[in-house]
Amino acid sequence: ASLPFLSPAAYSKAKEAIDGISAAARPYLAARDARWKSLLRILRSDEVPDRLEACVSVIDGLTKTEFVSQAVLHVPGFEPTTAGKPEMPSIALEIKAEEIRKSKVRMQVPLATSRFVTSNLEGLELESDEPMPDHDRWVLEDYIVLTMEMFGKDVDECSKQVLRIPVLHPHFEAVTVETIFSQMLRLPTPPLLPLFYYRLLEAIAEKQLSTKKLIEKAYSHLFEHASDLDEESLETLAEAFAYHLMHNAYQADWAPFTGDSVAVQGQRFIRRALERLQRLSFHQNLIHRLPEAVHVYVPPEPLAATGLPVQSKPEFTRMLGFIKIKDPSEAKVLRYCHRLLKMEPKAEKKEEEDTTTTGVAELVETTGEASDGKRRKLADGTAEAVLATGDAEVSNEPGEEASGDGKRKKPETTELLRVKEEVKQELHEDMGPKGATGSKDAGDGEKQVDEEDEEFGEAPAEPWPVEDVAELVATAVLQQGAKTPTHMLKVLDGHVQVLLKLRPEDDEQGHSFAKRIVSCVLDFWRLSGQRLEITVDSLLNKGVVTPRSVVETALAERGAQGCDSMPVWNIINGVARKSLERSQTVRVELAIAKKLGKEDVLEKSRKQLDDAIHENAELFTLIFTGLVRNYQDFEDCDNILRTITLQRILVIGRKYLAFIKPLVDAAESRIPGVAHNPEVAAVFRSLSTL
């Protein structure tokens, strides 16, 4: 909703038409269902009107003053004229109101600016306590929002343009600060990145020192109402406050977070803010420069975990020796894993079997020539004459039975079996470690086996489960790459094939395998959320773990990186965004194929799009199912987490509603547990109104 510029003279000529528009708006506002407004409030109890409601009120105020206002938003080239302009083309939408109602397109009306500063002017020492008239304030807010949109890529220039707005009123700076804060915390998402808004606040404070008190006032107001803040707004505000502390040498009003009366949500907020601040700075800086009263909220030093059960095993020490950053040997690590699993590598086993079979076949084939010196002999020492006729052999050897045609049929004799056994034995004696014949190769093979036996240690009495071996490898990789993210990527690149080859082919077993790796990463980086996010993202990109395994494990976590931690939700949002980006990429490819008329690409893209949509639905069903399960689990143990989980359901549904609207509308039938929890079902019903 926006107001065009009208001069008093123009208003006097079009007074009846303008009054008619205002009169027609009131019945519509009274009849519409605006339940969605409660989902967009920064402070849940703050009854802020939306921009359409406020616009009607502003028009009434301007009508009383006959469109005389102190603030004027006059964009050059858009001067109103009753005759129109000859160069202006005629524009016709050629669409009826009924067609818009039937369409799926929804234009979400934003809420008006919240009064974070001007609701209580006590202690601000302004020239006047008289508030700015609503119509003047409306025009000024429009002016500020338009300026931010126009100069969104240049923070410094944007701050200059905002401060140059020609409005002379004691509350100009307060309204400016409120408008920027409201845009930064706007739901479901701000028009620009939150980083832009709090950089803009700092740039304005540098140029206009009097605005510093107003910015601190806005922060204080939000801190006091932390328990009433929307969950998404709380996260954005925590990020803004971390940047504010960094920019202001860690100085702030810490009174809302000290003492015994700090609310739980206030404690959550300051922990979130300091966790983000630690990512911008260092742990020791926070300890040295923050007041001691808030040290209790400072996160622990982001170090790798020690004392994990897997790290105490002797096999872990051996595995650390095999996993190296420089010159990694995947084959050696894999052989050790197979030793723990008590299985022979399939490739080597098949090669040995093929070589043995081929050698036996060749030697047995020449048995007639090679075994001349080993012919069976009669009791008197003369050689036996063996005559072959067809498949039967005739022999004068005693003990043979005569066939019906007078010939003696020779069965497989003990002597011939003995010859074959001797041939096999000779072949195995001549074979090396990889099937190559020769005494030198055989000696080298035996030497290599002995060295590996000494290096690998004794084989386990019982084979390890494959998940335990995966945890051993993953923890060793994490520890060897714990120094920096670059080290981690280097080690992971050198050993990713080990994990991929160990993963079972069965879907459910492979899923259990991936979940074990994710759990291992969560345990190892439980004190460093940033490294946790980087590591999980790398494992996803390399295909070691799946989005399903990440979401299930993260939402089931109850430790330091539990389901309410910032890193866990950064990971889940990252997984969701990647899935949606893939589907959007396929949509673009499909549109291009339609435009170019490529039938083969068109059919392929349609199939890919169907698969992507199905994958998105499964992923978000999994996320909501995990949240509903957590909501049920917290029923008797933690009411705070139960409330937060309900808010998380709202946040996820609101943020990605455009992509998952069918799932949200059918939540009670498609998401397990929703129908049995009235509070959860009410959230999904309210989301359907957006």
Written as one string, the DSSP assignment of 389-440 is ETTEEE---TTPPB-TTSPBPP---HHHHHHHHHHHHHHHHHB-TTS-BSHH
Q: What is the pLDDT of residues 251-280, one digit of tens each?
A: 999 999 998 889 999 999 999 999 999 999
From residue 553, give the alpha-carbon distance in Å to each of 98, 559, 560. Answer: 47, 12, 14
- Given this model, what pLDDT does residue 390 score? 41
In sequence order, the 6+-apart residues with CB closer than 8 A to the CB of 182 are 42, 113, 114, 116
B/e letters for 478-513, b = 16+ CB within 10 Å, e = fewer, are bbbbbeeeeebebbbebbbbbbeebbeeeeeeebbb
Residue 417: pLDDT over 80:
no
Residue 547: pLDDT over 60:
yes
Closest-CA residue to 48 (of 142, 143, 174, 187): 187
- Given this model, what pLDDT does residue 203 score? 96
Distance between CA atoms of residues 349 and 436, nearest Å: 14
- Given this model, what pLDDT does residue 368 score? 47
How high is the mean pLDDT of the chain?
Answer: 82
Residue 154: pLDDT over 70:
yes
Q: What is the pLDDT of residues 498-521, one digit of tens each?
A: 999 999 999 999 999 999 999 999
- Given this model, what pLDDT does residue 397 score? 42
Under 8 Å between Cβ of 653 and 684: yes
Q: What is the pLDDT of residues 561-609, one digit of tens each?
A: 577 889 999 999 999 999 999 999 998 888 888 888 888 888 888 889 8
Give the pairing type, strands 387-389 and 392-394: antiparallel
- Given this model, what pLDDT does residue 395 score? 40
Residue 452: pLDDT over 70:
no
Q: Which CATH class is domain 476-687?
A: mainly alpha
Residue 49: pLDDT over 50:
yes
Closest-CA residue to 237 (of 220, 260, 256, 255): 220
Distance between CA atoms of residues 555 and 571, nearest Å: 11
* Phi, then psi, of 388 in degrees rounded to 5: -105, 125
- Given this model, what pLDDT does residue 424 score? 55
From residue 211, give the alpha-carbon distance in Å to each of 175, 255, 581. Answer: 11, 21, 40
Which residues on adjacent β-strands are paired with residue 392?
389
> How many other C-beta atoms lie within 10 A of the C-beta of residue 37?
15
Mean per-residue pLDDT for 626-631?
93
Residue % of the chain over a pLDDT of 70: 79
Confidence band, pLDDT 50/70/90 cuts, at residue 402: very low
Both ends of the chain: CA-CA distance in Å? 18
Under 8 Å between Cβ of 34 and 85: no
- Given this model, what pLDDT does residue 561 score? 58
Mean per-residue pLDDT for 468-476?
96
> How many other C-beta atoms lie within 10 A of the C-beta of residue 83?
5
In sequence order, the 6+-apart residues with CB closer than 8 A to the CB of 472 are 310, 313, 315, 316, 319, 340, 464
Distance between CA atoms of residues 162 and 204, nearest Å: 8
Higher pLDDT, 482 or 345: 482
Question: Domain map of the chain by residue range?
Answer: 8-102, 312-456, 476-687
From residue 303, give the alpha-carbon distance in Å to each of 215, 482, 530. Answer: 35, 8, 11
Distance between CA atoms of residues 437 and 441, nearest Å: 7
The answer to pTM > 0.85 is: no
From residue 486, give the alpha-carbon distance in Å to each of 163, 305, 480, 499, 538. Answer: 44, 18, 11, 19, 11
Place of tokens 């056994």: 421
Distance between CA atoms of residues 653 and 675, nearest Å: 17
Handedness of CA 260, 262, 267, 268 (dihedral sign): positive
